[in-house]
A and B are shown apart, each in its own frame.
Chain A
């Protein structure tokens, strides 16, 4: 893949992931657990495929808890994911700036 295509793909994935994280935060704030489970599910693969493996793992855990967990566990997992999302997005944008 040439550099221009790679950068375009990286931009698309980063922006898409950021948008998904924003939507997921709204769903979690609204305690919409079923929809949040779907949102977290989608983030598992996208985050993993851009190399944000920890974020992907946290999203997988959050998806499971949104389906089967209790509220305290969900809130805790949600907070962990949000913190990691900030770090992951910072790293992804930093990487893009450096390319």
Chain B
């Protein structure tokens, strides 16, 4: 089955991916740039906060949960304190999907979670959905007419 043609201009949107694993960074880079989005990586929470402070808001932030030093939940709380981070969609990448974990994601201020391992289709579906919810302005390109947020919303998994 061929991949559905994107309704949004992914090239104008930048995704921040926070994960301490070089392998997961490589996977995120390949999947995200392969789908046409721009990608910036951060190896830990402090690097992520530096990147957020240094540029225009990201369209979506993906973060691992279990990282050395500051974990993904605390990173999310810190991002929400920043002027640029109050509304940016934050998606947790986690190997755990118990009720308690989902509750932690929600309490930290996250928007959704993706259970690892994941495939490109799942990741891109989330990015397409959440990048349209983002307040970050696409860089110089408008949305392609005809996108359906209702349809996208049914295909993604938000934190209840």
Contacts and interface: CB of A to CB of B under 8 A. Distances in A.
Interface in B83-129: 93, 95, 116-118
B26 A13 contact: yes
Interface string B24-68: 101100100010000000000000000000000000000000100
Interface in A13-59: 13, 16-17, 38, 41-42, 44-49, 53, 56
B95 A49 contact: no
A38 B65 CA distance: 12
Contact of A16 (B22, B93, B116): B22
Describe A's contact surface by its main secondary structure. helix
A7 B30 CA distance: 12
A49 B22 contact: no
A48 B26 contact: no
A74 interface: no
Given A9-B30, A56-B117, A46 B24 contact: yes
A93 to B, nearest CB: 16
A16 B117 contact: no
Contacts of A5: 30
Given A13-B26, A44-B95, A49 B21 contact: no
Contacts, number: 46
A52 to B, nearest CB: 9
A49 B66 contact: no
Nearest to A15: B23
Interface residues of A, number: 20
B23 A13 contact: yes
A45 B21 CA distance: 10
B95 A12 contact: no
Contacts of B24: 45-46, 49
Nearest to B93: A45
Contacts of B30: 1, 5, 9
A67 B117 CA distance: 20
A9 B120 CA distance: 14
Most A CB contacts (10 A, CB to CB) among B30, B93, B117 go to: B117
17 contacts: A9-B27, A12-B23, A12-B26, A13-B23, A13-B27, A16-B21, A16-B23, A17-B23, A41-B66, A46-B21, A46-B24, A47-B117, A48-B116, A48-B117, A49-B23, A49-B27, A56-B117
Interface of A: 1, 5, 9, 12-13, 16-17, 38, 41-42, 44-49, 53, 56, 60, 63
